[in-house]
Amino acid sequence: MTFPADLTTLDFDNRFTRELPADKDASPYPRQVMGASYSRVTPKQFAAPKLVAHSREVAELLGLGENAHTSDAFARVFAGNEQLPGMDPFAMCYGGHQFGNWAGQLGDGRAINLGEVHGTDGAHWMLQLKGAGQTPYSRGGDGLAVLRSSVREFLCSEAMFHLGVPTTRALSLVRTGELVERDMFYDGNPKDEPGAVVCRVARSFIRFGSFEILAARGEKELLQKFTDFTIRSLFPHLGEPSQATYAAFFEEVCRTTAAMVVEWMRVGFVHGVMNTDNLSILGETIDYGPYGWLENFDPNWTPNTTDAHGRRYRFGHQGRVAQWNLVQLANALVPLFDSTKPLEAAVNDYASVYEKGWREMMASKLGFSEHNGDDDAALIGELMAVFDLAETDMTVFFRGLADVDVAADTRADERIGAVIDAYYVPTQLAGGVRERLGGWLDRYADRVRDEDDGRAERMNAVNPKYVLRNYLAQLAIDKAEKGDDSLVIELLDVLRRPYDEQPTKEEHAAKRPDWARERPGCSMLSCSS
Ligand code: AMP
Ligand code: MG
């Protein structure tokens, strides 16, 4: 087939498939893939691919023409139906710890990488289709994805990018024109749902589990080759591979992972399934599944129904779980070292790096020019305690706090007025609770009075007004499932400027409405996608 000129501008340079060993078996059947980093695969042919939405920033990054997305060929290419010259589709082999247990080989069971493109920024960008059919890693699965989960991945990865949180990107969301059967709550009620494919984009999709599988199998030579490839292609600033470089590499992964989780805590993002196969070696948010956005500030909240019992992946535990995952990565790298000391030191440092990052982040949310030690820690601690007393919308609260009048003679009632919208159940603010909130606001006012100049601007640059609230994503999905993509497109646009006031879009900044409190998709999500 001939492609429109503005699609063939994609300039492929496939380092991963060129430099790492391929599976010698070309069949698509589920199997253990040994001695290889990937298997070449052919994406499925879908009945009627149709573009729902695309990210113009990602298209630009890849050097696609401004109108590239308007052709039928675009939808067909990014559903996997056609391959552009230079593409070399493959599925990656990796393993992982799921919910704390070693799960063995996982791999790209429903993701197909198309190849690496030279971006307009000079970097290599891997294009990856999620939901484009079976691979040798599909185990019992169909390799497909439904529109519901694809809307969530597409919108959230772009929203996170615009919030300034390290993340994989999304180029496109395409309906396949086919139905996919899913039992959303694993309760014996399967339903046909519309199918979709998201084209994800990242410098790499290498995960902690990519290293773990090689170590678990004792494939030391390949582990070294794979680590050397990772360092040369993604961490070239560390220098040529050596034991010192391996140590520096692991230290950097510890630092970027800590920084990523701190950013999640800043915006109220709960990943929901932080298994080691879902942690990127680049410290970027990856694999948007049963994630959720914190509404009322509750450190114990997890959006994932599969996690409801142990709450391993609850909001307040994400920093600790990331460290647990880093320990698994360290264990996988042990065969490359004569002494485990550098790995142990980096894992130990993680805790202080994370704590410091979290303190500074909280100080910035409160508008402090810096974190002043114990007194600020106590003030932040008291705020957490106040949050615990009444259901408080995190996003609305911090946005409102920027407007609090901190002049010495302002009455507590007036200050409370600036944040009152954050309260889900106003009657919870009765008596003692109201007093405690007022007391905290008084202390807060005393703390920031001397640095009030520019405080609101500083705060509004780190406290978003617009996030992909769980109910907003669900409303967009409800419409899209009826064939109306307008809310997907509108939210994509609103979420491009999450820190700006957008007076005509206020409704998308509203806290969760009552109907969404217990509705599946809004407060409870499963891994079924
Ligand atoms: P996740 O929970 O999305 O991280 O997926 C865990 C593993 O299951 C990965 O190896 C996925 O590729 C695989 N997987 C998830 N859904 C499917 C599916 N529908 N078909 C095939 N493999 C899947
Ligand atoms: Mg995964």
**Gap from CA of 276 to ligand 2 centroid (Å):** 8
pLDDT the model gives residue 186: 84
Q: Can you tell me the distance from the alpha carbon of 294 to that of 268, in angstroms, rounded to the nearest whole number?
A: 5
* Ligand 1 site, residue 108, Cβ cutoff 6 A: yes
pLDDT for residue 480: 98
> Does the pLDDT at position 128 exceed 80?
yes
Tens of pLDDT, residue by residue over 284-309, are 999 999 999 999 999 999 999 999 99
pLDDT of residue 185: 79
pLDDT in tens, 19-39: 999 999 989 899 999 999 999
pLDDT the model gives residue 524 = 80
Select from 73, 86, 71, 64 the least CA-distant residue to 1.
73
Does ligand 1 lie within 6 Å of residue 438's CB atom? Answer: no
What value, to the nearest 5°, has the Cα angle with vertex 159 and ends 176 and 456? 165
Centre of ligand 2 from the C-alpha of residue 323, in Å: 18
In this predicted structure, the answer to whether residue 1 has a pLDDT above a threshold of 80 is no
Distance of CA 140 from the midpoint of ligand 1 (Å): 9
Q: What pLDDT, on a 0 to 100 scale, did the predictor assign at position 520? A: 85
pLDDT computed for residue 518 by the predictor: 84
Atom number of ligand 1 nearest to Cα 144? 19
Contact in structure between 203 and 183 (CB atoms under 8 Å): no
pLDDT of residue 273: 97
User: Ligand 1 center to residue 344 CA distance, Å?
Assistant: 31
For ligand 1, the distance from its centroid to the CA atom of residue 529, given in whole angstroms, is 9
Query: pLDDT tens, 79-104?
Result: 999 999 999 999 999 999 999 999 99
- Least confident stretch, 48-57, 177-186, 447-456, 467-476: 177-186
- Provide the pLDDT confidence category of residue 494 given band limits of 50, 70 and 90: very high
Angle value at C-alpha 250, between 244 and 254, nearest 5 degrees:
140
Average pLDDT value for residue range 152-174? 98
pLDDT at residue number 436: 97
Q: Which ligand is nearest to the CA of 279?
A: 2
- pLDDT, average across residues 44-66: 96
Question: DSSP secondary-structure letter at 167?
Answer: B
Specify the residue with its C-alpha closest to ligand 1, atom 6.
Answer: 106
Overall average pLDDT of the 175-193 stretch: 92
Catalytic residue among 6, 277, 307, 393: 277
Which ligand 1 atom sits closest to the C-alpha of 108? 12
**pTM for the model:** 0.97
Residue-level pLDDT at 528: 80
- Is residue 94 within 8 A of residue 209, CB to CB? The reply is yes
Instruction: Indicate if ligand 1 lies below 6 Å from the C-beta of 277.
Output: yes
Is the C-beta atom of 144 inside 6 A of ligand 1? yes
CA distance 334 to 318: 24
Q: Is 485 a catalytic residue?
A: no
Percent of the chain with pLDDT over 70: 100
Nearest ligand atom owner, CA of 205:
2
Measured distance CA(40)–CA(26) in Å, rounded: 7
Please indicate whether residue 103, judged by its CB atom, sits closer than 6 Å to ligand 1: no
∠ CA 455-457-459, nearest 5°, is 70
Asked if pLDDT for residue 173 goes beyond 80, the answer is yes
Is 294 in contact with 315 (CB distance < 8 Å)? yes
* Ligand 1 site, residue 107, Cβ cutoff 6 A: yes
Nearest ligand for residue 95 CA: 1
Mean pLDDT, all residues of the chain: 96
| Ligand 1 atom showing the smallest separation from residue 140 Cα | 21
* Pair of tokens at residue 30: 């589920």
Residue 278 Cβ < 6 Å to ligand 1: yes
CB 49 less than 6 A from any atom of ligand 1: no
* pLDDT-derived band at 429, boundaries 50, 70, 90: very high
pLDDT of residue 527: 79
pLDDT at residue 386 tops 80: yes
pLDDT at 230: 98
pLDDT in tens, 312-350: 999 999 999 999 999 999 999 999 999 999 999 999 999
- Between CA 495 and CA 473 the distance in angstroms is 12
CB-ligand 1 contact for 153 (6 Å cutoff): no
Residue nearest to atom 23 of ligand 1 (CA): 109
pLDDT band at 5 (very low <50, low <70, confident <90, very high): confident
| Domain locations in the chain as residue ranges | 15-208, 240-357, 368-401+403-460
From 38, 41, 110, give the residue whose CB has the most ligand 1 atoms within 8 Å, as the site to mutate. Answer: 110
